[in-house]
């Protein structure tokens, strides 16, 4: 479970306790909640509940207009990597952020992302933690990330070398006609670090906070899961739902529903691949 699915109802302590009670061994966490209680306290909470950290959200945003702003953003991103490493996270999500005021098109933003990832990746390597690129839906290209496709992410990983990979988020990539081939290619290159699940509702009422519970939308989640397994991914299915609807419900019911949906959608596919 990703804390984003429950973050308006459960703080870090309640979230980890509930996940542990449900029999989970790993969770994905957010830096603002770690900051609220401090790294040492977060380590203790995780240890008390027998949990390890899978994904850490996040390093970024770091796109900016001026050199000084970029330097400040990069320093902040490095500190997030330090916290993730202290928590023993498997990977840190990279979040480039929005285009600068007055910026047109995505070419310069993409160049800036590639340039800033070089020192950020050097720092991550020194900390013994991996960076994870997450291609986002094109509707979010202007205000959240200029990285929109698996193909772009794979090319960027190849350019940067070891220590960086890709999180396949079903909400963001399901629409891509080249997706199956790109998942297979990412698998061949050992780049798949995570698999996020949720669903695309029709109609979608908000670009960011109207994701669906698995099974309530139009994404063929079982097929996507089969593709990442066939590509060699051996990590968990991670539930990450940004939803005003689900945030307004009893978080215990949300957790129970998410587990039931995952068991229904993914269990049979997983058994085919051992």
Q: What does the pLDDT look like over 60-119, one tens digit per residue?
A: 999 998 999 999 999 999 999 999 999 999 999 999 999 988 888 899 999 999 999 999
| Strand ranges (E), 108-191 | 130-133, 164-169
Sign of torsion over alpha carbons 230, 232, 238, 240: negative
What is the C-alpha to C-alpha distance for residues 215 and 102, in angstroms, rounded to an integer? 40
- When pLDDT is averaged across residues 128-153 and rounded to a whole number, the result is 97
Parallel, antiparallel or unpaired: strands 130-133 and 164-169: parallel
CB 51 within 8 A of CB 27: yes
Against a cut of 0.85, is the pTM above it?
yes
Instruction: Look at residue 262 in the predicted model and tell me its pLDDT.
Output: 97
CB 120 within 8 A of CB 134: no
Instruction: Look at residue 210 in the predicted model and tell me its pLDDT.
Output: 98
Across all residues in the chain, what is the average pLDDT?
A: 95
What is the C-alpha to C-alpha distance for residues 215 and 243, in angstroms, rounded to an integer? 15
Instruction: Look at residue 268 in the predicted model and tell me its pLDDT.
Output: 56
Instruction: Look at residue 273 in the predicted model and tell me its pLDDT.
Output: 37
Q: What is the pLDDT of residues 216-255, one digit of tens each?
A: 999 999 999 999 999 999 999 999 999 999 999 999 999 9
- b/e 140-159 (16+ beta carbons within 10 angstroms → b): bbeebbbbbbbbbbbebbee
- When pLDDT is averaged across residues 43-49 and rounded to a whole number, the result is 98
CB 266 within 8 A of CB 222: yes
What is the C-alpha to C-alpha distance for residues 38 and 264, in angstroms, rounded to an integer? 37
List strands edge to edge, sheet with 192-197.
Answer: 26-30, 52-59, 91-94, 130-133, 164-169, 192-197, 237-239
Which residues fall within 8 angstroms of residue 2, CB to CB, at 6 or more apart?
27, 28, 55, 57, 196, 238, 239, 240
Which residues fall within 8 angstroms of residue 273, CB to CB, at 6 or more apart?
226, 229, 230
Looking at the predicted structure, is the pLDDT value of residue 269 above 50? no
Indicate the pLDDT class of residue 272, thresholds 50, 70 and 90.
Answer: very low
What's the N-to-C CA distance of the chain in angstroms? 22
Q: What is the pLDDT of residues 157-175, one digit of tens each?
A: 999 999 999 999 999 999 9
Looking at the predicted structure, is the pLDDT value of residue 143 above 90? yes
What is the C-alpha to C-alpha distance for residues 201 and 236, in angstroms, rounded to an integer? 23
CA angle 56, 134, 116 (to 5 degrees): 85
Instruction: Look at residue 128 in the predicted model and tell me its pLDDT.
Output: 98
> Can you list the domains of the chain with their CATH numbers?
3-272 (3.20.20.150)
Indicate the pLDDT class of residue 267, thresholds 50, 70 and 90.
Answer: confident
């Amino acid at each position: 479970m990703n804390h984003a699915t429950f973050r308006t109802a459960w703080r870090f302590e309640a979230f980890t306790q509930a996940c542990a009670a449900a029999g989970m061994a790993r969770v994905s966490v957010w830096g603002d909640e770690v900051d609220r209680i401090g790294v040492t306290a977060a380590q203790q909470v995780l240890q008390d509940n027998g949990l390890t950290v899978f994904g850490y959200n996040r390093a970024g945003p770091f796109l900016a207009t001026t050199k000084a702003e970029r330097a400040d953003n990069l320093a902040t991103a490095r500190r997030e990597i330090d916290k993730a490493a202290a928590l023993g996270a498997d990977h840190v999500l990279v979040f480039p952020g929005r285009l600068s005021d007055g910026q047109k098109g995505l070419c310069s933003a993409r160049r800036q992302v590639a340039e800033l990832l070089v020192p950020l990746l050097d720092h991550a390597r020194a900390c013994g933690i991996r960076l994870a690129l997450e291609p986002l839906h094109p509707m979010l290209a202007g205000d959240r990330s200029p990285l929109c496709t698996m193909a772009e992410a794979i090319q960027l990983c190849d350019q940067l070398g070891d220590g960086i990979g890709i999180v396949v988020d079903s909400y963001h990539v399901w629409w891509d006609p080249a997706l199956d081939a790109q998942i297979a290619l990412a698998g061949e290159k050992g780049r798949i670090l995570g698999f996020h699940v949720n669903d695309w509702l029709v109609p979608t009422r908000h670009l960011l906070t109207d994701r669906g519970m698995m099974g309530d939308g139009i994404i063929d989640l079982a097929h996507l899961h089969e593709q990442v397994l066939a590509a060699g991914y051996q990590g968990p299915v991670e539930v990450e739902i940004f939803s005003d609807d689900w945030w307004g419900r009893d978080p215990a019911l949300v957790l129970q529903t998410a587990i039931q949906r995952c068991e229904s959608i993914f269990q049979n596919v997983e058994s085919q691949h051992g």
